């Protein structure tokens, strides 16, 4: 993985404005990880992909994360401050397939990846639909059965096992409201969080480019090639 230049990040941001979140994540990693083919990136488990995104985020905006959460009980706003290291989990077992035996059923499966999330059949966000894409074979008492025949309670067990094998795919923050004491868990989605940061940065950067280009006549490439510190000095000189 390599750091993205300001110009590269703006290019990915511009192309990603009309894309769904999964494609935005893959576009960022494709630009930052030229040593990994786009097809390989798309087939990484969700946790493996998000681990790479956390690394890229650290290299882009730093390792500290600041966010907000709202208490669902009293409406108090909570300021969250933590580091990327605080939410990094152990990587999934390096295996393409996994097996599970429960209540007379033998299930072979793989972990969900970005292609699964982008599949039209997965857009309804139903766990069962996503699961069936990842099931390779199911047997009941040694006899192969249609995937659709897998009982819901067994399917839930498989989904739970998937989560244990790929914990980075579902990061839960334990929160407590200082105002009312309410406790709850909140999902931290690195894809949406990182993209929101990039969007804010892109708008601010383009505004800086506009000011400096209008004042000094420089081109966008020249301005983006400057360090943020130097750009800020020039902006202060023109009173912005």
- Token digits for 107? 């299930």
pTM above 0.75, yes or no: yes
Q: Predicted confidence band at 151 (pLDDT cuts at 50, 70, 90)?
A: very high
pLDDT of amino acid 122: 60
Closest CA to 56 of 28, 76, 79: 28
Closest CA to 205 of 32, 1, 5, 2: 5
Nearest-5° Cα angle at 59, 81 to 202: 85
CB 240 within 8 A of CB 210: no
Distances (CA, A) of 34 to 29, 47, 70: 8, 20, 39
- The region of weakest confidence among 4-13, 88-97, 119-128, 147-156 is 119-128
- Token digits for 224? 């983006």
| 21-64 pLDDT tens trace | 999 999 999 999 999 999 999 999 999 999 999 999 999 999 99
- The pLDDT of 159-183, averaged and rounded, is 95
Q: Predicted confidence band at 109 (pLDDT cuts at 50, 70, 90)?
A: very high
- Token digits for 57? 């985020």
pLDDT over 90 at 126, yes or no: no
pLDDT of amino acid 105: 96
CB 201 within 8 A of CB 231: no
Distances (CA, A) of 185 to 176, 182, 233: 9, 10, 42
pLDDT over 90 at 113, yes or no: yes
Give residue limits of the domains in the chain.
Answer: 6-90+172-236, 98-165
| 213-238 pLDDT tens trace | 999 999 999 999 999 999 999 999 99
Distance CA 157, CA 107 (A): 11
> Running DSSP on this structure, what letter comes out for residue 236?
H
């Amino acid at each position: 993985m390599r750091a993205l230049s300001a110009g590269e990040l703006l290019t990915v941001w511009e192309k990603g404005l009309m894309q769904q979140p999964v494609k935005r994540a893959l576009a960022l990693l494709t630009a930052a990880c030229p040593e990994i083919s786009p097809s390989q990136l798309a087939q990484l488990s969700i946790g493996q992909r998000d681990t790479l995104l956390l690394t890229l985020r650290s290299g882009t905006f730093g390792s500290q994360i600041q966010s907000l959460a709202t208490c669902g009980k009293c409406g108090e706003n909570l300021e969250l401050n933590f580091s990327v290291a605080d939410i990094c989990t152990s990587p999934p077992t390096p295996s393409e397939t996994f097996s599970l035996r429960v209540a007379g059923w033998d299930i072979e499966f793989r972990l969900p990846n970005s292609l699964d999330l982008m599949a039209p059949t997965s857009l309804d966000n139903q766990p069962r639909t996503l699961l069936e894409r990842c099931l390779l074979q199911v047997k009941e008492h040694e006899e192969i059965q249609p995937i659709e025949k897998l009982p819901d309670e067994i399917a839930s067990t498989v989904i739970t096992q998937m989560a244990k094998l790929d914990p980075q795919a579902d990061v839960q923050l334990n929160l407590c409201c200082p105002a009312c004491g309410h406790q709850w868990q909140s999902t931290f989605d690195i894809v949406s969080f990182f993209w929101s940061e990039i969007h804010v940065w892109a708008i601010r950067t383009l505004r800086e480019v506009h000011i400096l280009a209008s004042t000094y006549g420089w081109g966008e490439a020249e301005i983006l090639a400057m360090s943020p510190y130097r750009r800020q000095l020039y902006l202060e000189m023109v009173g912005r």
